[in-house]
Amino acid sequence: MSEIELQQGTPAQVGLCESRWNRVLAYAAELCHSQQIPAISLQVQHRGWTTGPHHFGTRNPGSQTPIDDDTLFLVASLTKPIVAAAILLLTERGELGLNQPVHEFLPEFRDAAKRSMTIKHLLTHTSGLPDMLPDNEQLRKASAPLSQFVEKTSQVELNFPPGRKAQYQSMGYLLLGAIIEVVSGKSCQEFLQEELFTPLKMLDSWLGLPADPTIHQRVAVLSLPETMQSATNWNWNSHYWRELGAPWGGIFSTASDLSRFLRMMLQGGATGKGLGLLSQATLRDAVGNRLDDYPSIPDAERRTRGWGLGWRWNWKDHRFCFSDFLPADTVGHWGATGTLFWMDRSREIGVVLLGTLPLNDRISPLTKLSNMIAAALMKS
């Protein structure tokens, strides 16, 4: 069996308490039956074993087409750790350095305020860039290409000098996508496909969908927030957004494919071809708390709001913690469309939860589901 292949087994073989695991599956089924979440796909892995992907609900709210192995989910910001992995690949190959200034790749970021901004600042959310641009909605209404988002980002005022604070910034990942293009000579979509998705056999993953109706038909339709329901030409279900390929949130994938990505991270970068995709040294830094590298960041922020290179730590006091029962150094990411994955590298555990109910200001049902999964995993 390849190092990235997961072996299907019983709950006991996976290290799950069977009665608690059955409760997990029953709760996921009830969430969909009661329409709290229209659709869920989930997969748990532990030391190379899994009970397989499990699917609940329907592909479109109110339809009869069930979710299955072929269903694609817009995973939103779960995209960020994958784009970060692409940057780390280029770093290992000597194509760039994490402390290189952004302006060496994107000259429009040469002004005084942004001149000290580095690739590492973008990876760790310490760049001072905003999460979204002030005219984000106008750009989407105009079906703007990514190049226009980059241009507008070069003109935006920073919220603080780079390296002084940490603040979530999707536009930093927009720039990472642009840097991948400059360095590799390929679009970010092409680079991910050739250097990550293909080696990992993530055959149902795309950064931006192809303009192929048969692929679009496989997508689980999202229950949109009120602010997007009338925006038919640019909301998350629109062809524009599906095909844009936003490096901060545009990947479509499946629970099985994302489990392969987590397996690579848990297996020390292995792809099943002998040579690791990423080295152990790279993985150590990727999942460590890189806010410790910045002396100006306030101590409380570094201790309780940790960020790796693309990976968020488990913020234990936050409503969007990964689970109340996981240690703080568990790493993962949430997606605004109602998605979550996390991994506990010390126990070699990975969890993927994909849903179609966008996050709001309340605790997500996925948090409760994640708590139940954490409780079902017996001590290893």
Instruction: Write the pLDDT tens digit of every residue in 207-254.
Output: 999 999 999 999 999 998 888 888 889 999 999 999 999 999 999 999
How confident is residue 1, by pLDDT bands cut at 50, 70 and 90?
very low
Average pLDDT taken over every residue of the chain:
95
288: which residues sit within 8 A by CB, 6+ positions away?
308
- Report d(CA 169, CA 174) in Å as an integer: 9
Question: In this structure, are residues 129 and 153 in contact, taking their beta carbons and an 8 Å threshold?
Answer: yes
The predicted model gives 130-136 an average pLDDT of 97
Say what the pLDDT of residue 291 is: 98
For residue 30 the two structure tokens come to 């009830």
**Domains in the chain: boundaries:** 82-186
Say what the pLDDT of residue 4 is: 76
354: which residues sit within 8 A by CB, 6+ positions away?
40, 41, 42, 73, 75, 220, 254, 255, 258, 338, 339
How confident is residue 2, by pLDDT bands cut at 50, 70 and 90?
low
Is the pLDDT at 273 greater than 60, yes or no? Answer: no
- Report d(CA 166, CA 160) in Å as an integer: 9
Residues in the chain: 380
Question: In this structure, are residues 89 and 197 in contact, taking their beta carbons and an 8 Å threshold?
Answer: no
Phi, psi of 255 (to 5 degrees): -60, -40
Residue-wise pLDDT tens digits, 328-364: 999 999 999 999 999 999 999 999 999 999 999 899 9
Is the pLDDT at 270 greater than 70, yes or no? Answer: no
Q: How many CB atoms lie within 10 A of CB 289?
A: 18
Choose among 186, 182, 1, 196: nearest CA to 81. 196
